[in-house]
């Protein structure tokens, strides 16, 4: 009996060890499959968006620009998304870490939504412009358009490197791809004319003069020739002469004629067919496509009507706060009169040159830096610079942030358009810096791409509602970071928040409720302090990029809601630095996944206390 029992114990032990080994092997195989899936998806993302790859510091696609509106490209995307979704379904999620589960959830969301875009009545494709969507029938526009983005790279001071002979040769190949993209774009727009699917006439009118510098410039003065003028001394004379000749020929024989062809097409064929309506809801399939774009940009299932009404409530709430701030400043008239005064108040327009404006933003950075340790644990390694926006796009550009390279060798840059320094109004400068720079986009995007716990595909900028939601939330941190002691600057922050709330109303108004451009302009003028010219540029941006402007406010509201929930749940145990860690240490998340993560963190914190 004793021997038999011993034998059974030994057999049971052997079986247990065997089962454990099999379980370990299975878990290891699952982890290996997951890592391979993430790696493959990362390589896929780099290959379909080579400019973003360059921006992130990867060089293997530096000689390519994706012809992302072509039929072949779309078919490739559809097949790849299907394949990745099939592989996702083979992963056993039970043994995954929380970070792995979140990353897999983001990947699944990305594949499903991008695939669905290709199936819309008005086909939607992810563009090389910060991964923002583009409508196939509108491949070019007056903003967020590849034909405006490529010249930024061409100037030699942006993300494409010009340090070696290979860098210069890579750019020549990229120009060839770019020329092919322009041909495809014109072909798609001609199809749009045939099907009465064209851009609003007012937007086409804004596009045409943007081409003049590229169509009419001499080779020596052309922006695309600038890298030749800045060629490093490390390149030999022989190579320098060869590259100079190659750049001169491609600019004179191909690039300038192509820009002239595009301008002529827009002037003579496309502009006369431009439509009078402002939103895509007026187009066949437009309402369905707009609802898709809402889900893509907000990661929610909210309807256009729900967002419209939320926007109106937020406008009313912020307006009431602006009334209080106006009274604290000591202005006795109504809010509209104060808004008019603020637009032209000489105390808010103090600079005569661009250098003064840039120095003003650097002083804001210094004030924030003294308080950062009180609000944040995490700090990015990447450097940071404030620069003036390039002249060729300055007149129609908004302030923006361009991330540095992943290895931190190229700094993140906050670009400020200063076309007329003597008219530059500083009312919103502190809030603008918090949003675009520190701790807004510079912190979030740099930390995301420096996070070694995340799979590589989550390092680049991706989820607009998270990225922009965080940046707008960052504006509310001003007082915690030593800003907004000037009541005008606090009013400026409210003005910027109002600007984002207005977007919820006018974007849905334009694309889902039949609003005209003029209605949207009038609504904005009634509720914010921006100039009429600035408001017109913004409304025309919303016309060109349906749904994108919704992401800011909806993302901010969710992050603020989650912070309030954590503060109430944890009481004195709440630590704002730890909360910010939780928001920032998993990359860009859909709002539902972010909420689930913060809820779990709150529960974990309560169990510790």
In the block, which residue shows the tokens 């680049």? Answer: 460
Cβ atoms within 10 Å of 362's Cβ, excluding its own: 11
36 closest CA partner among 25, 26, 44:
44
- How much is the pLDDT for 10? 36
For residue 408, give the 3-state DSSP assignment.
coil
Q: At a CB cut-off of 8 Å and minimum separation 6, what does 599 contact?
A: 565
pLDDT in tens, 217-265: 999 999 999 999 999 999 999 999 999 999 999 999 999 999 999 999 9
pLDDT of 305-355, one tens digit each? 999 999 999 999 999 999 999 999 999 998 988 988 888 889 999 999 999
Q: What is the pLDDT of residue 23?
A: 53
d(CA 300, CA 353): 44
pLDDT digits over 388-446, tens only?
A: 998 878 887 889 998 888 787 889 999 999 999 999 999 999 999 999 999 999 999 99
> Which pLDDT score, from 0 to 100, does residue 461 have?
66
**Helix residue ranges, H only, 528-590:** 532-544, 550-570, 576-584
52 neighbors 132 (Cβ within 8 angstroms) = no
In sequence order, the 6+-apart residues with CB closer than 8 A to the CB of 596 are none
Report phi then psi at 221, rounded to 5: -95, 0
Question: Comparing C-alpha atoms, which of 322, 298, 311, 343 is closest to residue 523?
Answer: 311
Residues 516, 114, 126: CA angle, nearest 5 degrees: 65
Q: How many residues does the chain have?
A: 609
* Residues 6+ away with beta carbon under 8 Å from 384: 365, 404, 411, 412, 413, 414, 437, 438, 442
Q: What is the pLDDT of residue 344?
A: 85
**Cα-Cα-Cα-Cα dihedral of 91, 93, 98, 103, to 10°?**
30
- Taking the C-alpha atoms of residue 302 and residue 288, their distance in angstroms, rounded to an integer, is 13
What are 43's two structure tokens? Answer: 């390589």
Please state the φ and ψ torsions of residue 62, each to the nearest 5 degrees.
Answer: -70, -10
Measure the CA–CA gap between 591 and 558, rounded to whole angstroms: 7
Output the average pLDDT for the chain.
Answer: 92
Strand partners, 471: none
DSSP state of 121: S
Q: Residue 126: which residues within 8 A CB-CB, separation 6 or more?
A: 48, 49, 68, 114, 117, 132, 133, 134
- Domain range list for the chain: 51-290, 300-556
CA-based nearest residue to 282, from 198, 203, 193: 198
3 state SS of 229: helix
Two tokens, residue 507: 């974007």
| CA–CA dist 206, 141 (Å, integer) | 9
Terminal alpha carbon distance of the chain: 53
Residues lower than pLDDT 70 in the chain: 1-26, 461
Element at 84 (helix H, strand E): helix 71-88
Find residue 401's DSSP bridge partners. 414
Q: Which of 272, 128, 290, 162 is nearest to 208 (CA)?
A: 272
How many H helices and E strands in the chain?
26, 5
Tell me which DSSP letter residue 267 carries: I
144: alpha, beta or left? (left if phi > 0; alpha if psi -120 to 50): left
Separation between Cα atoms, residue 485 and residue 473, nearest integer Å: 18
3-state secondary structure 293-335: HHHHHHCCCCCHHHHHHHHHHHHHHHHHHHHHHHHHHCCCCCH
pLDDT of residue 20: 47
In DSSP notation, 496-520 reads HHHHHHHHHHHHHHHHHS---HHHH
């Amino acid at each position: 009996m004793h021997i038999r029992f011993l034998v059974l114990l030994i057999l049971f032990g052997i079986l247990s060890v065997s089962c454990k080994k099999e379980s370990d092997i299975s878990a290891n195989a699952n982890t290996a499959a997951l890592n391979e899936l993430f790696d493959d998806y990362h390589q896929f993302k780099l290959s379909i968006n080579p400019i973003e790859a360059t921006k992130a510091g990867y060089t293997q696609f530096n000689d390519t620009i994706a012809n992302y509106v072509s039929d072949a490209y779309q078919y490739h995307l559809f097949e790849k998304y299907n394949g990745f979704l099939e592989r996702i379904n083979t992963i056993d999620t039970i043994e995954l870490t929380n970070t792995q589960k979140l990353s897999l959830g983001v990947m699944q969301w990305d594949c499903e939504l991008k695939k669905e875009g290709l199936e819309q009545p008005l086909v939607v494709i992810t563009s090389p412009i910060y991964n923002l969507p583009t409508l196939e029938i509108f491949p070019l526009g007056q903003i967020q358009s590849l034909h405006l983005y490529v010249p930024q790279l061409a100037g030699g001071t942006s993300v494409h490197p010009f340090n070696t002979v290979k860098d210069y040769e890579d750019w020549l190949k990229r120009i060839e791809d770019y020329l092919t993209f322009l041909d495809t774009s014109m072909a798609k727009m001609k199809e749009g004319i045939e099907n009465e699917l064209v851009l609003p006439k007012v937007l086409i009118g804004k596009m045409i003069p943007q081409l003049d510098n590229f169509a009419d410039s001499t080779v020596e003065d052309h922006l695309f020739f600038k890298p030749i003028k800045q060629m490093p001394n490390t390149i030999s004379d022989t190579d320098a002469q060869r590259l100079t000749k190659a750049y001169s020929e491609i600019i004179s024989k191909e690039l300038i004629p192509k820009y002239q062809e595009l301008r002529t097409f827009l002037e003579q064929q496309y502009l006369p067919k431009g439509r009078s309506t402002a939103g895509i809801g007026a187009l066949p399939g437009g309402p369905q496509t707009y609802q898709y774009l809402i889900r893509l940009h907000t990661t929610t299932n909210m309807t256009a009507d729900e967002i419209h009404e939320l926007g109106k409530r937020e406008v009313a709430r912020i307006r009431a706060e602006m009334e209080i701030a106006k009274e604290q400043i000591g202005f006795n008239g109504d809010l509209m009169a104060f808004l008019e005064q603020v637009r032209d108040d000489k105390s808010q327009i103090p600079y005569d040159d661009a250098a003064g404006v840039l120095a003003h933003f650097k002083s804001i950075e210094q004030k924030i830096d003294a308080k950062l340790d009180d609000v944040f644990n995490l700090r990015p390694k990447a450097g940071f610079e404030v620069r003036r926006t390039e002249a060729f796009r300055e007149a129609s550009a908004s302030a923006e942030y361009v991330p540095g390279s992943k290895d931190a060798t190229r700094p993140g840059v906050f670009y400020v358009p200063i076309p007329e320094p003597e008219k530059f109004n500083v009312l919103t400068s502190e809030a603008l810096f918090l949003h675009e720079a520190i701790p807004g986009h510079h912190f979030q995007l740099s930390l995301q791409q420096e996070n070694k716990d995340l799979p590589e595909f989550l390092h680049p900028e991706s989820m607009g509602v998270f990225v922009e939601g965080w940046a707008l939330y960052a504006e509310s941190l001003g007082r915690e970071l030593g800003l907004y002691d000037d009541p005008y600057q606090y009013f400026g922050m409210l003005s910027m928040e109002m600007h984002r709330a207005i977007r919820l109303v006018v974007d849905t108004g334009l694309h889902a409720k039949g609003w005209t451009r003029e209605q949207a302009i009038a609504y904005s003028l009634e509720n914010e302090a921006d100039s009429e010219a600035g408001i017109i540029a913004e409304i025309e941006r919303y016309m060109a990029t349906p749904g994108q402007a919704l992401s800011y406010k909806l993302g901010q509201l969710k992050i603020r809601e989650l912070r309030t929930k954590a503060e109430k749940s944890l009481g004195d145990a709440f630590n704002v630095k730890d909360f910010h860690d939780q928001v920032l240490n998993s990359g860009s998340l859909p709002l539902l996944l972010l909420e689930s993560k913060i809820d779990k963190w709150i529960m974990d914190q309560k169990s510790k206390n």
